């Protein structure tokens, strides 16, 4: 199974992927770009697209929304929209982590697969 992310196919987003974004001299299937941290989506964009009922962030950048990891009727999940790593914490007990760990859990991926998915590399 080699499922490509359902959204954000580089060819159709018009986001201006340059050929220099990819290293064609080596198979990208076996490598994660060394600058992957810089290429992660911003926590603001990432979480806004995936969390229901996301509130406006407070002065420290924390916003609350529905946790996708449990049957959440309140806004148990806090995410940081400004910190570089996009910290998250579920106050109902689902845990905490950063943007990559959130994506791992949301998609059921391992770390490397989650990073590749986030930066748009197969
Ligand atoms: Zn939760």
Rounded to the nearest angstrom, the distance between the alpha carbon of 33 and the centre of ligand 1 is: 31
Rounded to the nearest angstrom, the distance between the alpha carbon of 108 and the centre of ligand 1 is: 15
Phi, psi at 19, each rounded to 5°: -60, -25
d(CA 12, CA 114): 21
Rounded to the nearest angstrom, the distance between the alpha carbon of 78 and the centre of ligand 1 is: 10
Rounded to the nearest angstrom, the distance between the alpha carbon of 77 and the centre of ligand 1 is: 6
Rounded to the nearest angstrom, the distance between the alpha carbon of 6 and the centre of ligand 1 is: 23
DSSP character string of 29-76: GG---TTHHHHSPPHHHHHHHH-TT-----TTSEEEE--TTS--SS--
Rounded to the nearest angstrom, the distance between the alpha carbon of 66 and the centre of ligand 1 is: 8
- What residues contact 39, with CB distance under 8 A and at least 6 apart? 33, 118, 119, 120
Q: Give the SS3 label for residue 122.
A: coil
Q: What is the pTM of this model?
A: 0.74
Residuewise pLDDT in 10s, the chain (122 residues): 555 555 554 444 445 555 555 555 544 455 788 999 999 999 999 999 999 999 999 999 999 999 999 999 999 999 999 988 899 999 999 999 999 999 999 999 999 999 999 999 87
Give the pair of three-digit tokens for residue 7.
């959204």
Sorted by where each starts, the structural domains of the chain and their CATH numbers stand as: 34-119 (3.90.580.10)
- What residues contact 67, with CB distance under 8 A and at least 6 apart? 76, 77, 90, 92, 94
């Amino acid at each position: 199974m080699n499922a490509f992310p359902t959204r954000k196919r580089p060819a159709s987003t018009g986001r201006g992927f340059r050929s220099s974004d990819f290293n064609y001299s080596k198979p990208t299937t076996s490598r994660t770009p060394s600058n992957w941290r810089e290429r992660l989506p911003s926590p603001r964009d990432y979480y806004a697209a995936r969390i229901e009922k996301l509130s406006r962030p407070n002065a420290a950048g924390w916003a609350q929304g529905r946790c996708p990891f449990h049957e959440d009727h309140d806004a148990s999940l806090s995410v940081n929209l400004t910190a570089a790593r996009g910290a998250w914490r579920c106050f109902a007990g689902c845990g905490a982590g950063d943007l990559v760990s959130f994506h791992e859990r949301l998609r059921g991926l391992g770390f490397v697969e989650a990073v590749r998915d986030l930066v748009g590399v197969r």
